[in-house]
Structure 1
Amino acid sequence: MTTHVTLPSPAGDPSPTDGLSTPVDGVDVVGALSPSRVGDFLACPLLYRFRTIDHLPEPPSPDAVRGTVVHKVLEDLFDLPAAERTPDQAASMLEPAWAALQEVEPDLTAMFGEGGGEITSWLASCRAALDQYFRLEDPRYLEPAERELYVETLTDTGLLLRGFVDRLDIAADGSIRVVDYKSGRAPGEGWEGKALFQLKFYGLVIWRMRGVIPTRLQLMYLGSGEILSYDPDEDDLLATERKVEAVWRAIATARDSGDWRPRRSALCAWCAHQAVCPEFGGTPPPLPEQVTPAD
């Protein structure tokens, strides 16, 4: 089996919209957005700037890397014959996935302090997430149509929407289920809509790409063993498109004015950029001469 590992990239990967305007299928793209970058801007415009314009480095976190390793195991699990997709088999794939990740990023063990003594308990938390997965569904009876599927579409305004879908299930009647794994816990009451936005975004992109509205959007929370499902309709996805376009207009306004205001919230406790944030007495670096936001 060929092993490939993709680390989380908070600052975004190189983009076809890194230039002022890049032709895609003959259309000049005005910009690009992924669900993560939309979430960044809505949470804090300055955070969006730090990640997509300044590309400030962020140290990896055990939680984020747990998600990467667990996603890798679940992706590779479906390469096996159906009968072999068992909890024991998934557990046996965990340490090799972690070792492969360390080959790509050998400094990851620094997350666990001197000597990496906390790795054992961290690996146990990865195993617990995989155990929760098997409580939610039995992969022996599933044959996903796609895994880690890159999707993209252009809106009528030339905005490129894109991202990676963890899993796409297609039934015999052609109905589509979009599945996303989360290694953390399900959101508290009142936060479900925010959690589902990512899937509505993907539902919109798949609809535009394939001409079929997904029947179900499903988030699997492996930290708490819960499933959050939603069945979208055309109005839902059109509303999502309007929201994304509105966010892009706000980003363009901030770009043109240079006004990337911080928005203080409880999320600041996990931000890696407090040292350069005015809310914490810091000073942001000078803006690059040519500002071209891309996801």
Structure 2
Amino acid sequence: MQEQLGFDFGAMPKKLVRVTPAKLATWADCPRRFRMAYLDRPAPPRGGAWAHNTLGAVVHNALKALFDLPAAKRTPEQAVALLHRHWKNDGFRDEEQAAVYRGRAEGWVRGYVDELDTSIEPVGIERWVSTPTSKIVAEGRVDRIDLRDGELVIVDYKTGRHALTVDDARGSQALALYALAARRTLRKPCHRVELHHLPTGTVSVWEHTEESLARHVSRAEEAADELGLAGDTLAAGGDPEVLFPPRTGNQCTWCDFRRSCPEGRQAAPTLDPWALLAP
């Protein structure tokens, strides 16, 4: 009837796939893990806490709380006090081990804040940003967004055991998508991304071009096509084992869904929850 009246609305537009850097990383890591984390309902039980994740979360929370304070109170001593306020022992072997790493974390945040211009007022702390592309809606929560000389800067805190390089900043799909999403959300240009590695006190920087950002988007869209098709086929009655096969490797050691994955348990040994802490 619509064509007879002279209207041609064409094909229905394809629904944009909503993705976060975490979703894309999980899909790349292991399709089965993606299904268990984001599609299965009820989701399979997850494993317990890992000490290195607890350590990272505590540091992030302390720095977030620091920037909630007036600039005059953003001192290294206050940062350490906030670390203590947010501290948890989840995943550590015992209180003695937790105390050792709490001491290390105290040194990290003290040194970081001591070198930081705490008078700056970030335009975003743990800010949710989002942007559509031709195929996806890329979104996520950014640790910190600064405004410097009229441009946004993406700041990502890291507490891992390994030092980071410029290549890590350049190759981070998460940082690239955050830059695009922050640009769209806050209506200001954004090309610079930074990884702030607190254990070493180093900052790894990359200045994206429009071309490098477009390459990251293209890869994200390809992955979103794959995971979206797999999810739609599953909803239509497809075989989950075929659509979401396990991708085994060393990552199976710390997978949250290890107990529900026989292939993962066979592929990698069980580790203690504190095994991934820096020695």
Cα–Cα, structure 1 residues 193 and 222, in superposed 2: closer, same or farther, change >3 Å?
closer
Aligned to 1:40: 26
Aligned to 1:177: 153
Cα–Cα, structure 1 residues 260 and 194, in superposed 2: closer, same or farther, change >3 Å?
farther
Shift of residue 211, structure 1, vs aligned partner: 4.7
Cα–Cα, structure 1 residues 142 and 74, in superposed 2: closer, same or farther, change >3 Å?
same
Residue pair 1:33, 1:160 contacting (<8 A) in 2 also: yes
Separation in 2, partners of 1:206, 1:280: 37
Residue pair 1:37, 1:48 contacting (<8 A) in 2 also: yes
Separation in 1, partners of 2:127, 2:49: 24
**Which of 100, 103, 106 is the matching residue for 1:121?**
100
> Which AA in structure 1 matches 2:17?
G
Residue pair 2:169, 2:175 contacting (<8 A) in 1 also: no
After TM superposition, the runs of 4+ consecutive aligned structure 1 residues lying more than 6 A away are 188-191
Shift of residue 230, structure 1, vs aligned partner: 0.6
Shift of residue 142, structure 1, vs aligned partner: 2.2
Q: Is 1:242 matched up with 2:218?
A: yes
Aligned to 1:285: none
**Which of 75, 79, 104 is the matching residue for 2:68?**
79
Cα–Cα, structure 1 residues 186 and 195, in superposed 2: closer, same or farther, change >3 Å?
farther
Cα–Cα, structure 1 residues 202 and 225, in superposed 2: closer, same or farther, change >3 Å?
same
Aligned to 1:52: 38
Shift of residue 191, structure 1, vs aligned partner: 6.4
Residue pair 1:82, 1:139 contacting (<8 A) in 2 also: no
Cα–Cα, structure 1 residues 281 and 143, in superposed 2: closer, same or farther, change >3 Å?
closer
Residue pair 2:127, 2:141 contacting (<8 A) in 1 also: yes
**Which of 160, 165, 168 is the matching residue for 2:137?**
160
Separation in 2, partners of 1:208, 1:267: 34
Separation in 2, partners of 1:110, 1:198: 27
Alignment of 1:99-248 (within 5 A): 109=89, 111-113=91-93, 116-134=95-113, 137-157=115-135, 159-171=136-148, 173-186=149-162, 192=168, 196-248=172-224
Aligned to 2:50: 61
Q: How high is the TM-score relative to the length of structure 2?
A: 0.76
Separation in 1, partners of 2:163, 2:244: 28
Separation in 1, partners of 2:247, 2:53: 23
Q: How high is the TM-score relative to the length of structure 1?
A: 0.72
Percent identity over paired residues: 27
Gap runs ≥5 in structure 2: 1-12, 267-279
Separation in 1, partners of 2:140, 2:65: 20
Cα–Cα, structure 1 residues 149 and 189, in superposed 2: closer, same or farther, change >3 Å?
closer
- Secondary structure, in 3 states, of the residue corresponding to 2:189? coil
Cα–Cα, structure 1 residues 190 and 146, in superposed 2: closer, same or farther, change >3 Å?
closer
Shift of residue 268, structure 1, vs aligned partner: 2.0
Separation in 1, partners of 2:262, 2:229: 20
Separation in 2, partners of 1:217, 1:266: 29
Aligned to 1:96: 85
- Secondary structure, in 3 states, of the residue corresponding to 1:215? strand
Greater Cα radius of gyration, structure 1 or 2: 2
Shift of residue 233, structure 1, vs aligned partner: 1.4
Residue pair 2:169, 2:206 contacting (<8 A) in 1 also: no
Separation in 1, partners of 2:192, 2:21: 18
Residue pair 1:29, 1:160 contacting (<8 A) in 2 also: no
Separation in 1, partners of 2:202, 2:162: 7
Gap runs ≥5 in structure 1: 1-26, 99-107, 283-295
How many equivalent pairs are there?
243
Q: CA RMSD in A?
A: 2.7
Shift of residue 196, structure 1, vs aligned partner: 2.0
